[in-house]
Amino acid sequence: MVATHYEVGEKVPADICPTLADEGDITFAVSVEVYGGYGSAKHVYPTEQVERIQDLFVVGGEIDEVGVADDVRLYTIPHDALR
């Protein structure tokens, strides 16, 4: 399974966070890998473990809770650690 990699500070794609991504003020707070699932499902894994899923994103310069698309699953543990 091939993942798309995003670095800290990169803009979050609209298919992950549709409401805020269009405004351009939501970025990744940590490096992540995004794996595709069945249909349009997306699985977002940090490359290093985080405490909370909120720690994955920065909104307007601050870490905040973010609403994601219905078919997006967020994880706090790296993908490789789950194997």
**83 residues of the chain, pLDDT tens digit each:** 678 999 999 999 988 988 765 556 788 999 999 999 888 899 999 999 999 999 999 887 666 667 888 899 999 999 988 77
Alpha-helical runs (H) found in the chain: 18-21
**Region class of 51: left (phi > 0), else alpha (psi between -120 and 50), else beta:** alpha
Structural domain count of the chain: 1
For residue 53, give its domain range. 3-82
Digit-coded pLDDT (tens) for 39-62: 889 999 999 999 999 999 988 766
Calculate what percentage of the chain has a pLDDT beyond 70.
84
Beta bridge partners of 41: none
Q: What's the rounded Cα separation, in Å, for the pair 44 and 59?
A: 17
Amino acid identity for residue 50 in this structure: V
Which pLDDT value is given to residue 59?
A: 83
